[in-house]
Amino acid sequence: MSQYRTLARFNRWANERIYGCVAELPEPAYREDRGAFFGSVHNTLNHLLVLDRLWRGRLQDTDLGVRSLDQILYDDFEALRAERVLEDDRLIALADGYSEDDLAASLVYESVDGSTYEVPVGLILNTLFNHQTHHRGQVHCLLTQSGITPPPLDILFFTKQFV
């Protein structure tokens, strides 16, 4: 299995675990601005979905409606959670569909500020999955500050189920 297929499945596994913990938060704690880059747990999780859609749209040459990095796609936790599950399935299908040649090919895209870039598809997938890990780490910390002990999210814990 290519590293991207593994990362896509790890991403889904980690999101399921973190969303399970977030579901335990009372609404005020879920919405509270705690000084993370996007403020609250909700805004951070929403941002992850925004960026996944943005990158997937670029990769599939489809406008998925993302206009800003802090755009609120779903204001309700359960709706956001349901869409996260669907997006993770879409990302798995996307990663599964790439050949080695596809991954080495470059994609030209326009950023939200209008700048144009050309980047290999594999690097975009690395960016997408690394971005998920970065912000999930912030949510992990915010959960800990709220008195909830999130589970380990290291990729080695994910891969242990396969050995």
C-alpha 5/C-alpha 26 separation (Å) is 34
What CATH number does the domain containing 8 carry? Answer: 1.20.120.450
Instruction: Enter the DSSP assignment of 36.
Output: B
Q: Report yes or no on 162 lying in a domain.
A: no
Per the structure, the count of domains in the chain is: 1
What confidence score (pLDDT) does residue 75 get? 95
What are the mean pLDDT values of the chain's consecutive 10-residue runs (163 residues total)? 89 97 96 93 97 96 90 96 98 96 96 93 96 96 93 85 61
Which residue range is the domain that position 94 belongs to?
A: 3-156
pTM, entire model: 0.93
Q: Report yes or no on 161 lying in a domain.
A: no
Q: Report yes or no on 31 lying in a domain.
A: yes
Q: Report yes or no on 106 lying in a domain.
A: yes
Q: Report yes or no on 121 lying in a domain.
A: yes
Q: Report yes or no on 74 lying in a domain.
A: yes
